[in-house]
């Protein structure tokens, strides 16, 4: 009985997730393909996902991966039936971004923790806690205006020349189960 209840809760949760994914897909002007996460990073030094769709579903390297809440990452490798996603949480990722309110530009990269870091902000940058960070039009890979997260802390670089902002991602990388891939 308890097992059945557990199964039922799981189905309800999955249903809710898929509903929000479908809602986003229908409302969005972008061409999207849904995929399921079948694997996560095999080690602790990188942040990536393995999806159940690949070249046979027209998924190619360089495509952007999003969720209903915001940006997730990009496809770095694709084969016939699976593809690898490098999450924005990976330190090797760099996303050209702007603060939505003040239009201040910066580079968001991963930290391998739950948060991201927005670097190269000038000393007089207009950024405050609670500001929303989105992708900028300067990005060659990511479409403009995708939600990245919210600023939760602002600090000064060790050199004293720049400031940085800690960004809480809109999508928790540890809890992603389904994603949407943007088709060009």
| Residues in contact with other proteins by the rule CB under 8 A | 38-46, 48, 50, 76-77, 84, 86, 90-92, 109, 111-114, 117, 174-175
Q: Please, which residue, 130 or 175, has the CB nearer to other proteins?
A: 175
Least Å from the CB of residue 179 to other proteins:
16
For the chain, the straight-line distance linking the first and the last C-alpha, in angstroms and rounded, comes to 47
Least Å from the CB of residue 20 to other proteins:
20
Q: Phi, psi at residue 100, to the nearest 5°? A: -60, -40
Q: Please, which residue, 114 or 145, has the CB nearer to other proteins?
A: 114
Question: Are 143 and 64 contacting, i.e. CB atoms less than 8 angstroms apart?
Answer: yes
Dist CA 184 CA 180 (whole Å): 13
Q: Please, which residue, 30 or 94, has the CB nearer to other proteins?
A: 94
Q: Please, which residue, 96 or 132, has the CB nearer to other proteins?
A: 96
Dist CA 133 CA 140 (whole Å): 17
Least Å from the CB of residue 28 to other proteins:
26
Give the chain's radius of gyration (CA, Å).
17
Least Å from the CB of residue 36 to other proteins:
12
Element (H, E) at 15: helix 2-27
């Amino acid at each position: 009985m308890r097992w059945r209840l557990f199964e039922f809760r799981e189905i309800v949760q999955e249903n809710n997730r898929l509903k929000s994914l479908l809602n986003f897909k229908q409302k969005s002007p972008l061409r999207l393909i849904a995929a399921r996460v079948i694997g996560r990073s095999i080690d602790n030094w990188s942040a990536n996902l393995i999806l159940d769709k690949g070249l046979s579903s027209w998924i190619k390297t360089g495509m952007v991966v999003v969720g209903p809440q915001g940006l997730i990452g990009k496809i770095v490798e694709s084969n016939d039936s699976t593809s690898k996603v490098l999450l924005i949480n990976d330190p090797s990722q760099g996303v050209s971004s702007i603060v939505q309110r003040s239009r201040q530009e910066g580079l968001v990269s991963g930290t391998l923790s739950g948060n991201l870091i927005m670097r190269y902000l000038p000393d007089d940058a207009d950024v405050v806690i609670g500001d929303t960070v989105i992708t900028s039009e300067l990005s060659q890979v990511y479409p403009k205006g995708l939600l990245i997260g919210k600023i939760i802390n602002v600090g000064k670089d060790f050199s004293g020349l720049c400031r940085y902002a800690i960004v809480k991602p809109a999508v928790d990388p540890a809890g992603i189960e389904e994603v949407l891939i943007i088709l060009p």
